[in-house]
Structure 1
Amino acid sequence: MFELTLGPEEKRVRRTRRRDPVARFKPDKAAQLDAVAGCPELQVPAGHLCRDVGRWVERLDTSRVEAGYSSLGRHGYHPKRVLAVWVYASLIGLHYATEVARAMRTDAAFRLLSGGHAYSEGVLKRFRQQQEALFQDALEQTVRLAGHAGLLDAQDLAVDSVRLRAHGSTKQVRTLHRSKERLEELARQDVDALEPQARQVHAAKVHKHTEAVRLCQQRGASSVVLTSPAAALMKFPSGAGLPGHRATVAACGQQARLVVGVLLDAAAVDYGHLEDAVREARRVLLKAGMPQQACLQVAADAGYGSKADLVFAQSEASWVDVLVAEPQAAGEPTGAGGLFGRNDFRLDAAERSVLCPAGRKMRGPLYDKAHGYDRFVGVGCDVCPLKPQCTRGRERNVTVDWDFERARASMRQRMAQPGARQRYNRRIATVEPVFSSLEDAMGYRRVSSRLPQTVKAEVLLKLLAHNLSRLITRQRLVLVLFRLS
């Protein structure tokens, strides 16, 4: 027998292009009668929230996501319908895929949004995990839609943050300070005098804390959560120290209260976040149609009063006008234990000198090369009658970063200008309702995932739901005013 062999150029090329490039999705069966859920189109009232959600989600452009679906084989669920289901679930307080999948079996509102289909838990989880880019793009589209409706005001921006519980246990938290202390304690133990089993326990403890120190130094953080890489230990308003995430939000308009910028990290404080938040808000507003030469006006609380934040406000005054209030007014004691604070010392940047509350010129400056600031030491503190109010040590020490002090002085001058305090007071009514909507109206206080990409996608989804709820409310008010007129 003879065997015929073909060369590489003669081999049959397998078809790799699909015959129909248009993606196919499961058909809409919401108007059909179902044995379990009935007919959703007839069951859901005309003014139901889910109908408004469906109409607004339909206006969003999801073509990039749709292009990733195949036209061959088993048809998938339309991304707009899955997105509408997640948005509606967020607005009514369902944040876990298991809860949403269970509700979709019999809830007519969910079945109407899904086109008569009941999504499984896996479909909902995968969609939320993989569509971070879609949620970000949809959030920006809501800002663009608000701009077309005249709801955006670049002169009324506010920045603040909210802490969300992480999906992690406090037993999985490791702090840099505590691990270093434990390593020092373990190093002082005589390992040779221990029993074999005790040696193994000792070695395990050393490995645990050594790894914790390595992770903290690698991430540049003071704490890590082993089971949730995007989380860290932070102080919550209740006073408890728990694993959490920090979501920094830039909101626009006292009436609209729309989210125009989101940053997510595991920082313990707000310090240093102002520049990134303002630049992100400006990027989104420019995409929404704001003129390039427009000057933003941003208000932030005292948590954004670090050197990096105030220097940014001073150096970028050409395109952004920032208002940041100090924690306390000048002249009030700000030191620990009721002692004199920084505001009680008179700083002269021109001469680089400091006068203490008693009017004496302090000795210095003594430059601290390691930290980059000047240090001043009190003169005659041992005989000063104000010493009990100034220091409990031998002499009072004051450190001064002159770049920081110039930025603080510049911000004080800006806050003292006419109208600055009135505009700053609008901050609470602009950004705080966003957090109230998130935590109280939606009941969203804890993230349901540990994966970093899913955590960010989940927070973006909730803020997208907030923006859509604001557009729905505005549409209803316009309709009411139209009917009244």
Structure 2
Amino acid sequence: MTVVSSGARQRLVVGGLLSASGNDKGHLAPALQEARRVLHQAGLPLAARLQVAGDAGYWSEEGLRFAALNRAWVDVLLKESSPTGPLAHEPGMLKREAFELQPSKRAVVCPAGRAMRGPVRNAFDSCEVYFGVGCAHCPPRARCTRGTCRKLSVRWEYECFGRAMLQRMSQRGAAAGFLASASCSRPLSPFMLSSQPSSLIFRADLQSDRFPKAMPGTCLRSALLARLARVETQDG
């Protein structure tokens, strides 16, 4: 279950997302949209731009796409997920980053500088698969593959969205904002959302001049409490 709460000092649950899934893949968009709707009903203007910090559980093609397409109202900061695959964590093996991905050409160059053969469409997961050329006599082969030929699967849309997120995270203040939000140690930007395993937490600097004058922190808290009370009454 993904729980969305709000507050820099006190947290009130403003939304919940119940799912049978064992991970947070695909949960970012509905959780944020519901939290935004609830906060708007409590007095937060829709024009307010939010900032979100999410852990690696939200790093997925769905989450990255949502971040890229909704920049107008939310600045999403996501921690990159750990690499996967049979060789991803084997000591001494070449990492995925050693391969040059060329989105404009839909081409891949291997660590030896050779253009890989492909792509071949994988109907199972919609990936494009590339195959090494000359692997049998390539000096780095032992560090590149356990088979006769190195294969690399690419989802180009995912790669582009992922690169955009890494670029955002490399900008000044992004990493510090993510860490501070995750630790919840101090108020940050006017609207901050941090993600912990199975939870999403809105944080707001209620003294900010970007927050509506007619809705100070105590009023927002009261409005949220009143709405939650109405929901409990309706459910009861």
Q: TM-score, normalised by structure 2?
A: 0.72
Find the aligned partners of 1:267 and 1:378 in 2 and give their Cα distance. Answer: 36
Matched, 1:349 2:103: yes
In 2 relative to 1, CA 368–291 (structure 1 residues): closer, same or farther, beyond 3 Å?
same
Residue 409 (structure 1) aligned with residue 176 (structure 2)? no
Could you tell me which amino acid in structure 1 is paired with residue 33 of structure 2? R
Provide closer, same or farther for how the CA distance between residues 433 and 259 of structure 1 changes in structure 2, counting only shifts above 3 A.
farther
> Post-superposition shift, 1:254?
4.1
For residues 30 and 131 of structure 2, what CA distance do their matches in structure 1 show?
A: 37
| Equivalent position of 2:10 in the other structure | 256
| Deviation (angstroms), 1:267 | 0.8
Q: 1:294 aligns with which of 18, 26, 48?
A: 48
1:337 aligns with 2:87: no
The CA distance in 2 between the partners of 1:253 and 1:417, in whole Å, is 26
> Does structure 1 conserve the Cα–Cα contact (< 8 Å) formed by 2:169 and 2:175?
yes
For the residue of structure 2 that corresponds to 1:265, the secondary structure is coil
What's the counterpart of residue 420 of structure 1? Answer: 174
Between Structure 1 and Structure 2, the one with more strand by share is: 2
**Cα 1:368/1:432, change in 2 over 3 Å:** closer
User: Which is greater in Rg?
Assistant: 1
**Bigger helix fraction:** 1
| CA–CA separation in structure 2 for the residues paired with 1:414 and 1:275 | 18
Identical pairs, percent: 43
Alpha carbons 1:363, 1:377 under 8 Å: kept: yes
Shift of residue 320, structure 1, vs aligned partner? 1.2
Write the deviation string for residues 419-457 of structure 1: whole angstroms up to 9, x where unpaired. Answer: 11111112322455998xxxxxxxxxxxxxxxxxxxxxx
Look up the match of 1:391: 145
5+ residue gaps in structure 2?
185-194, 200-223, 226-236
Q: Distance in 1 between matches of 2:181 and 2:117?
A: 42
Moved runs in structure 1, 4+ residues, more than 6 A?
Answer: none
Deviation at 1:321, TM superposition (A): 1.0
Q: Is 1:326 matched with 2:80?
A: yes
Q: Distance in 1 between the 2:174 and 2:181 partners?
A: 12
CA, structure 1 residues 288+433, in 2 after alignment: closer, same or farther (shift >3 Å)?
farther
Partner of 1:461: none
Letter of the 2:154 counterpart? V
In structure 2, give the amino acid aligned to 1:428.
Answer: A
Q: Using the alignment, how far apart are the partners of 1:324 and 1:309 within structure 2?
A: 9
Task: Decide whether the 8 Å contact of 2:2 with 2:198 is kept in 1.
Answer: no
2:90 partner amino acid: G
Query: Does the 8 A contact of 1:275 with 1:312 survive in 2?
Result: yes
Q: CA RMSD in A?
A: 2.6
Q: Which has the higher contact order (CA 8 A, sep 6+)?
A: 2
What SS does the aligned partner of 2:3 have? Answer: strand
For 1:372, the aligned partner's letter is S
Looking at structure 2, the residues matched to 289 and 357 of structure 1 have their Cα atoms a distance apart, in angstroms, of 54
Aligned to 2:63: 309
In the superposition, relative to structure 1, how do residues 340 and 257 fare at CA in structure 2: closer, same or farther (>3 Å)?
Answer: farther
Please give the TM-score of this superposition, normalised by the length of structure 1. 0.36
**d(CA) in 2 for partners of 1:254 and 1:291?**
18
